[in-house]
Amino acid sequence: MAIMMAAIGCALSSPAGAQVQDQFQILHSFGSAGDGSGPTGLLVLDQEGNLYGAALGGVDDGGIVYELTPEGNGEWTETILHNFPYNDPNDGYFPTGVVIDGAGNLYGATTHGGLNGSGTVFELTPGANEEWTESIVYNFCSLPHCADGGDPFTPTLNPGGGLYGTTFDYPGTAFELTPGSEGWTFNILYAFCSLASCMDGKDPIGSLTLDAKGNLYGETLEGGTTDGGTVFTLQPQPGGQWNEVVLHDFRCAGPSRRL
């Protein structure tokens, strides 16, 4: 098994002939004792300088969420916050990454598992004794004909404490999850392939980007003028509606499907 590595390196300036190894530091090497392999998504940083991320593998083969803590001597310690069980309907598996809110809670998505086998959005909440509690925010494919989509990507936090995200399958949605006193409310912002020949895009891929005006931006792997994919924006409208605008059509047919 190949050992995958997560690392951060930086160099503000480098003299001529400087060695690459002087600018690069391995923080943790994955692949031993069930600590995960094949890190997925981006790393996120909390206010104390700890790093959080997700990976595949783990003791239950369904992936992990981990924390890397700096020890002050150049060393970093990995802590497994959650092990995802493979093919357990009470949890998801194969996490895509995490985001962190101002209270230190982590949110992420799994591409598989959950009650309907089509992935989940989950929350990890820190508690006493450095223990973390996982809760499932949403199980995908919960609507008839999987109208809510499946195979989600890492969500994006919004200023109100909610989450925006996309799903890749059936043939993809953009969604919002809003927290409330009785749990989370799921809302479809846009269902892709709504126009003839999927001119509006199909199979959105990756997380959404939110701008200061509340517009969302993303990409689709397929659809558009020549079925080569699109870059799109979703713009909030009065009454809670959203308008999709294709910003760019990629004119290259035959893209590869997501693995």
Q: Kindly report which listed range (66-80, 92-106, 203-217) carries the lowest average pLDDT score.
A: 66-80
CB count within 10 Å of CB 223 equals 28
Predicted local confidence at residue 107, as pLDDT: 98
Q: Kindly report which listed range (10-14, 138-142, 234-238) carries the lowest average pLDDT score.
A: 10-14
What is the 8-class DSSP label of residue 170? T
Q: How many angstroms separate the CA atoms of 94 and 21, rounded?
A: 32
Q: What one-letter code names the amino acid at 223? A: G
Predicted local confidence at residue 6, as pLDDT: 41
Predicted local confidence at residue 233, as pLDDT: 98
Per-chain mean pLDDT for the chain: 90
Indicate whether 257 pLDDT > 70: no
Indicate whether 16 pLDDT > 70: no
Predicted local confidence at residue 20, as pLDDT: 53
Indicate whether 113 pLDDT > 70: yes
Predicted local confidence at residue 256, as pLDDT: 54
Q: How many angstroms separate the CA atoms of 199 and 48, rounded?
A: 45
- Report the candidate in 122, 95, 125 with the shortest Cα–Cα distance to residue 111: 95
- Report the candidate in 159, 56, 147, 148 with the shortest Cα–Cα distance to residue 101: 159
Predicted local confidence at residue 19, as pLDDT: 55
Predicted local confidence at residue 9, as pLDDT: 38
Q: How many angstroms separate the CA atoms of 133 and 123, rounded?
A: 8
Complete DSSP assignment for 32-90: STT--EEEEEEEEE-TTS-EEEEEE--TTEEEEEEEEEE-SSS-EEEEEEEEEETT-TT
Domains of the chain, start order: 36-132 (2.40.10)
Query: What is the pLDDT confidence band of residue 195, given thresholds at 50, 70 and 90?
Result: very high
Indicate whether 255 pLDDT > 90: no
Average pLDDT over residues 71-81: 91
- What residues does 115 pair with on adjacent strands? none
Which residues in 229-242 are b (16+ Cβ under 10 Å) and which e?
bbbbbbeeeeeeeb
Indicate whether 167 pLDDT > 60: yes
